[in-house]
Every structure is written in C-alpha cells, then in structure tokens.
Chain A
Amino acid sequence: MKDVVEAEKGEIFDIELDVNILEANRKLANENKELLQKNGVQAIDVMGAIGSGKTSLIEKLVQNLKGKYRMAAFKGDLTTTIDAELIARHGVEVIPINTGKECHLDANLVKKALKRINLEGIDLLFIENVGNLICPAEFPLGSDKRIVVVSITEGPYMVVKHPFIFMDADVVVINKLDLAQAMGVDVKKLENDAKTINPKVKVVATNCRSGEGIINVINALEL
C-alpha cells in the first residue's frame, strides 16, 4: 500500500490499495499443496457438471488402483452425502465436505478436511468438486492435477462453450461414450476442441459404467 498523508477533518481521502480477494485462497491452496507433498500424497481435483460422472469415475479409478495405492476421497457436495457413501463402499475413506450454499470447494474447506485424515496413511487423494463448471476454476485447492469431466449428454458444444475451464485442466475425460451414437455426438470433435483450447491437455474417452477407457485415464494421470 502507498503511504498516505493523514487528511484534515472532512476531507476526502483517496487510498490506493492492492487487495486481491482471490489471493487468500491461492495462498491456502499452496499451503495445502506443501502439506500434501510433505506427506507424499498426490491429490487429484475432479471437476465437472452435475451428472457428468465425477463420482462414477472416482469409483472406477479406486477399484482399479486398489492394490497399488492407499487412497482417500473428499467429496464436496451442496447438501447430501450420497456420493460419499458410494465411494466408501470400495473401502476408501471418504470425507464429505459440506459447502452449504457455496457453489464450489475452496482451499480453506480442503485444509479443514486434510486435518481429518491421516495423511501418512495414504498416497492418493481424490477431491470431487461441487458439480459446477464455472466457479471451481478460480479456487485452486492445492491439488497436483485437475481432471475435467464432460459427458456426451451435455451435447456437442459443451467444450467450446466453456473454453476457459479446459485451460486449467491436465486431463479431460469425455464420459458416457456408450451414448455417443444415440446422441449423435462426434467424440473426436470434442477431443479436438479441448486440444485446440489447451494443446497440452490429455483427452480420454470413457464409459464409467462399464469401465471402458479407465486404464487410459490412469495412464494420462501417470498413476
């Protein structure tokens, strides 16, 4: 902040500031990242619209990686803990994070949740973000990698309509591959759209019900 001369009584007083509101979250996210790294935990943030298949994807990843990693999951949800129960069925510790009326997880909520698990006991942490494609991008949580899940049922314009979320992604999962034909959606085109926006992003098509493509997601995440 610039040095200011004290004003006389009744004077209008102009104050230059540089207070970045989103900065506090970014700082906390960095602290989370450091804490995770110190404990040798890799964290993966899963974003995507409601119903795109975030929970199904995490379940399939957990099933496939069970023997290889010790895992836990955070589940951000507006009101329910149904998803948390689903993931817990696979013997993985799930911490539900209730965001109340907020539309996204933030680094502070994740920080609190990190206190509730034994970080030394896990290697891999999945963080299912609230089903919302716009808000979470501005609120990094401290994860190492970010997955954006889009589903075929969201239609052919899905990617080009929300280009900026894909700029922050490491892996894009195009889910519900089994419905592509019925929906008349060109999967290759969606894939190219994501690549146009972010040339470095890895794109994988999946069917999270059958498990098709899950192995490619694991490879893309380098797990």
Chain B
Amino acid sequence: MHEFSVTSQIVEAILKEAGKHNAKRVVAVHLDIGKLTFLGLEQVRFSYEVLVKGTILEGSKLYIEEKDGIVNCRSCGYEGGFQYEDDPIYHIPTPTLRCPNCGETVEIEGGRECTIRDMKLLISEDDKTDAD
C-alpha cells in the first residue's frame, strides 16, 4: 500500500508551508481524504506518527475527514452518491456508474481528494498553546 509515501508527501508539503510562515510548531493538521483513494486511514495515521518524529510536527493533532464518492450525470444533471445495485446471487450491493435518475453513465466527481485543508501553527515557543 502507498499510505507511507502519500503521507510523507503530506508531511513534506506541511513542512514547506510551515517554513514559509516561520512556524515554531505545527499543532494541528486537517486532511480531506476521499473514499475512492483507498487510503487506509489507520495506515495514514500510523505513517504520520512515524514521519513527524523529530520535526516541528511532532505532537500535532491529525484530523482526517473522509469524503464520500460523488458522481455527476452530464445527461440529466444528477449529482450525488453512487447508485448501488443489489446482486441477486451474492447479495453484495455493487456500486455502479449508471445514473440512478436516467440510466446514462455518470462521471466521478468527488471522493478522490487527498488534500491538506488547513493547519494550525505556533509562531513562537514562548507561549505554548494546545491544538484547540
């Protein structure tokens, strides 16, 4: 799985951004992760803990918001979740790209994000404050 390499890119991007602001510490980080990225949230958290050791991110709080898959129909304008079709043989609900409204094929619009949404920085060590 690629959680470790994705998370190391996340940490790198945060360090770069924090550096621009002369941050002493990063106290909190907020990520949006889409369900369609198949990033295991536990693995992301674990990788994060490992990667932030010894950096100004150590001890920061990591918030992850999971984003649902969203589709968009060019044909009728439907926007929303996937339609699931019930499998008569296996009884496993199967997601489909068929539009629940008109039956045309939809496009995937959301659920693929892996975005750093915001972060909280501490500018000076003199005045330590908690993440929230």
Quick one: closest A residue to B119, CB to CB? A15
Given A9-B127, A160-B87, A163-B94, A16:B118 Cβ within 8 A: yes
- Give A178 to B91 CA distance when docked, in angstroms: 27
Q: Is the CB of A20 within 8 A of B114?
A: yes
Q: Is the CB of A17 within 8 A of B17?
A: yes
Quick one: closest B residue to A103, CB to CB? B2
Indicate whether B13 reaches chain A with its CB closer than 8 angstroms: yes
Residues on the B chain within 8 Å of A167, using CB: 97, 108
Given A104-B2, A164-B95, A18:B120 Cβ within 8 A: no
- Give A169 to B90 CA distance when docked, in angstroms: 23
Residues on the B chain within 8 Å of A156, using CB: 90
Complex interface: stretch among B3-11, B47-55, B73-81:
B3-11
Indicate whether A98 reaches chain B with its CB closer than 8 angstroms: no
Given A21-B10, A135-B2, A160-B90, A199:B96 Cβ within 8 A: yes
Please list 23 pairs of residues, one from A and one from B, whose beta carbons are closer than 8 Å in the complex, sorted by A's number: A4-B21, A10-B122, A10-B127, A12-B122, A13-B23, A14-B121, A17-B115, A19-B13, A19-B116, A21-B114, A22-B6, A22-B113, A102-B2, A134-B38, A138-B38, A156-B90, A160-B90, A167-B97, A197-B94, A197-B97, A198-B97, A199-B97, A199-B98
Q: Is the CB of B127 within 8 A of A138?
A: no
Residues on the A chain within 8 Å of B115, using CB: 17-21
Q: Is the CB of B114 within 8 A of A14?
A: no
- Give A197 to B83 CA distance when docked, in angstroms: 10
Q: Is the CB of B92 within 8 A of A160?
A: yes
Q: Is the CB of B112 within 8 A of A138?
A: yes
Quick one: closest A residue to B12, CB to CB? A21
Q: Is the CB of B114 within 8 A of A199?
A: no
Nearest Cβ distance between residue A19 and chain B, in whole angstroms?
4
How would residues 95 to 130 of chain B score, 1 for a CB under 8 Å from any chain A CB and 0 otherwise? Answer: 111100000010010001111111111111011010
- Give A11 to B122 CA distance when docked, in angstroms: 6
Given A134-B38, A138-B38, A10:B126 Cβ within 8 A: yes
Indicate whether A90 reaches chain B with its CB closer than 8 angstroms: no
| Contact residues of A between 144 and 171, Cβ < 8 Å to B | 156-157, 160-161, 163-164, 167
